[in-house]
Amino acid sequence: MTTPFTPMVSGSALPIDAPAPATSRNVAHRGGAVNPSADALREKFGSAVRRVDVVWGETSVVVDGTRLQEIVRWLHDDAAQRYEYLSDLTAVEFRDTEQPIEVVWHLRSLAYRRFLRLKVLLVKGAPLEVASVWPIYKGADWFERECYDMFGIRFAGHPDLRRILMWEQYKEGFPLRKDFPLRGRFSRAEQLRQALAANPEARYSMEELSIADAFEDLPQEMLARLRSGEKTGE
């Protein structure tokens, strides 16, 4: 039986005894081939590129946070780079409290089969803020919301930066920070008390309630509470 489905990229199998590619095996812990985009970045942006590391065959480029959006846009648009795919966006906080928090972007250039890791270091004590890459990659939307939710890092320019995995009234802080205890900041009794005191009607955000007449149709008592500043939504 044939499908109406013909376009296909045919497989090209290497012979089994061909030399293993350097991508997955025989990679050194430190050093090795640097992604050519790192040199191109140095040439183009100069001092905005702070450091280039190669760890386990992957190139990490630490860049200046203030020029991040400019750098990512160039990587995305330049015909010799074409980093059109944002694989991942996350942050790392180290156990050593002196070390700055790292925000990490994993970019892929599908055309040239390259993988590049960009990093911005955020010093603790200063406001944790970095430019959003949402105008360049729409896929960054939920990544940045999650990063804000878990680490409290604000992404300037994100259209709708609010919590995503935790609910909107979550008061315990940012769970993936190292000063956040594994069992949560509040005691079990306090967590239970808050859960029982929550308003079960407030399942919709104000934005959702503003749709059509839904807001006006709410019970008077709830309307009064909402108007007096009670937060809704999850």
Partner 1 sequence: MATIKRTVEVELSTSGMDAQGRPVRTPLAVAADGSTVTVAAPPSMEPELEGEHMLINLGPQHPATHGVLRLVLELDGETVVRCIPHIGYLHCGFEKIGEYRQYNQIVPWTDREDYLNSIGNNVSFILGAERLFGIDCTPRATVLRVIAMELSRIASHLVWLGTTCIDIGAFTPFLWAFQERENIYSLLERWVGARLTTSATRVGGMAADIPSGWTEQLQTFVTLFPKTIDEVERMLTKNGIWVGRTIGLGAMTADEALNYGLSGPMLRASGVAYDVRKDFPYLDYETYDFDVPVGTNGDVYDRYLVRVEELRQSTRILEQALRRLPDGPVNIDDHRVILPPKSKATSEMESMIHHFKQVMEGPRPPIGECYVATESPKGEKGYYMVSDGTAKPVRWRIRPPSYVNLSAIPKMVEGHLLSDVIAINASIDIVMGEIDR
Residues 56 to 95 in contact with partner 1, rule: CB under 8 A: 56, 58, 60, 84-88, 90, 92-95
Helices 36-45 and 68-77, interaxial angle, to 10°?
A: 130
234: CB partners within 8 A, 6+ apart: 167, 168, 169, 203, 205
Stretch that binds partner 1, among 14-22, 39-47, 124-132, 187-195 (CB under 8 A): 14-22
Nearest distance, CB of residue 144 and partner 1, angstroms: 11
User: In the structure encoding, which two tokens stand for residue 211, read together?
Assistant: 């749709």
Task: Single out the residue of 48, 52, 121, 176 in contact with partner 1 (rule: CB under 8 A).
Answer: 176
Size of the site for partner 1 (CB under 8 A): 72
* Residue 25 near partner 1 by CB under 8 A: yes
178: CB partners within 8 A, 6+ apart: 93, 94, 95, 97
201: CB partners within 8 A, 6+ apart: 218, 219, 222
Terminal-residue alpha carbon distance, the chain: 49
Between CA 1 and CA 110 the distance in angstroms is 33
* Residue 207 near partner 1 by CB under 8 A: yes
Q: Given phi > 0 = left and psi -120 to 50 = alpha, else beta, which region is 198?
A: beta
Task: Single out the residue of 31, 80, 142, 190 in contact with partner 1 (rule: CB under 8 A).
Answer: 142
Between CA 58 and CA 62 the distance in angstroms is 13
Task: Single out the residue of 167, 171, 192, 201 in contact with partner 1 (rule: CB under 8 A).
Answer: 167
* Residue 206 near partner 1 by CB under 8 A: no
* Residue 1 near partner 1 by CB under 8 A: yes
* Residue 172 near partner 1 by CB under 8 A: no
| Contacts (CB under 8 A) with partner 1, residues 31-60 | 55-56, 58, 60
Task: Single out the residue of 37, 120, 132, 141 in contact with partner 1 (rule: CB under 8 A).
Answer: 141
* Residue 196 near partner 1 by CB under 8 A: no
User: In the structure encoding, which two tokens stand for residue 74, read together?
Assistant: 């160039």
Nearest distance, CB of residue 70 and partner 1, angstroms: 19
* Residue 135 near partner 1 by CB under 8 A: no
Nearest distance, CB of residue 10 and partner 1, angstroms: 5
231: CB partners within 8 A, 6+ apart: 168, 169, 202
Nearest distance, CB of residue 125 and partner 1, angstroms: 20
* Residue 188 near partner 1 by CB under 8 A: no
